[in-house]
Amino acid sequence: MDIGIPVEQSPYEYRVGMTPQGVKLLTQVGHRLYIERGAGLNAGFQDSDFERAGATIVYNGAEVYGRANMIAKVGAPTIPELQLLQEGQIVLAFWHLAAQPREVMLALLEKKITAIAYETIQRDDGLLPVLHPLSEIAGRMAPQIAARWLQTDGGGPGLLIGGLAGIPPIDVLILGAGTVGINATKAFLGAGARVFMLDRTLSNLQVIEERFNGQVVTMVSYDFNIARVLKFAHVVVCAALVPGERSPILITHEMLKAMRPQSLIIDIAIDQGGCAETSRPTTHANPVYVEDNVLHYCVPNISSVVARTASHAYLNGMWPYGLALATHGVEAAMSSNAALRRGVVAHQGQIVHDSLVTLYRGS
């Protein structure tokens, strides 16, 4: 199969759709890889690294899209890139279509694109194998993000996460006991914070209780419990995820008004719409804004700034699915691989992911 890797066009997207190691694995079994010049530079990969792995370097995105049967990206194609898509192509990316403009889906349907969303590839045991490592990274980055924006020069209240002798640590509220939440909990505890974990499922909280030996205060995420902890939390990490669907709104505008002045919301769920009513996407260049005297950090591609680690991480999870598609084609790969089938959001001019069918039927 002819596989294309374009330069990422989304703002501040530094990751790359394929590493040289992935190229080598694919070319060794007979596939042809076309890499746009400079596609891997921000992740620390030179064009010569891809060439040594067996890829052909091409000089613009139009050539990549024109040559390839399958496109492997990180972020969803931008609006200008949609014009470059060829009818019937396979495009793998973190699509997050529930939070995308309607015109993105309409373009996929018009061109009969097979769109495979990494974030909805899901094994029978519930694991999201491609999204999982990026969720781990985002969770582990939460304390370093918090440390920066709690500083006085970041607009925060001038607090040290772990406190000191005679000075208490900060209180951190984590909403969602999934992969992001677990990793954020581990990282904040390591930094010395006091952590409160809220989740809608009691069994998830029991896992947290056992895993962290009672160091975490756990509560069921009823509205009144969320409102109660918001009043004293210095940092809130929004980590609630429903695969393929818009994130649930857990923090209302009224709740926000009762929060500590200069407290911080890190909305890691923003790529699916966000968990706070006041959340809107930001960028790594301008990651924070203030509403009702509460700082909001709402960068959708958090792991992009650790681009080399992140590229290796998600591609480790993606590799079996990309290889199956390249080797067997869409129909055979979908029929034999249930996890991959769950990742297909559009195919042959139809929306095929249940949650998106419901979303677009109601819009």
Q: Rounded to whole angstroms, how far apart are CA atoms 305 and 148? A: 15
Q: Rounded to whole angstroms, how far apart are CA atoms 180 and 136? A: 6
- Tell how far CA 48 is from the center of its chain: 29
> Does 171 participate in catalysis according to the annotation?
no
Pairing mode of beta strands 114-117, 344-347? antiparallel
> Does 271 participate in catalysis according to the annotation?
yes
Per the residue annotation, which of 96, 132, 234, 353 is the catalytic one? 96
Is residue 339 within 8 A of residue 119, CB to CB? The reply is no
Partners of 97 in beta bridges: none
Q: Rounded to whole angstroms, how far apart are CA atoms 270 and 239? A: 9
Amino acid letter for position 164:
L
Helical residues (DSSP H) of 125-222, grouped into ranges: 131-150, 179-191, 202-211
Q: Rounded to whole angstroms, how far apart are CA atoms 160 and 289? A: 21
Q: Rounded to whole angstroms, how far apart are CA atoms 170 and 184? A: 14
Q: Rounded to whole angstroms, how far apart are CA atoms 189 and 217? A: 12
Per the residue annotation, which of 171, 199, 267, 271 is the catalytic one? 271
- Tell how far CA 133 is from the center of its chain: 10
Partners of 194 in beta bridges: 171
Catalytic residues: 96, 271
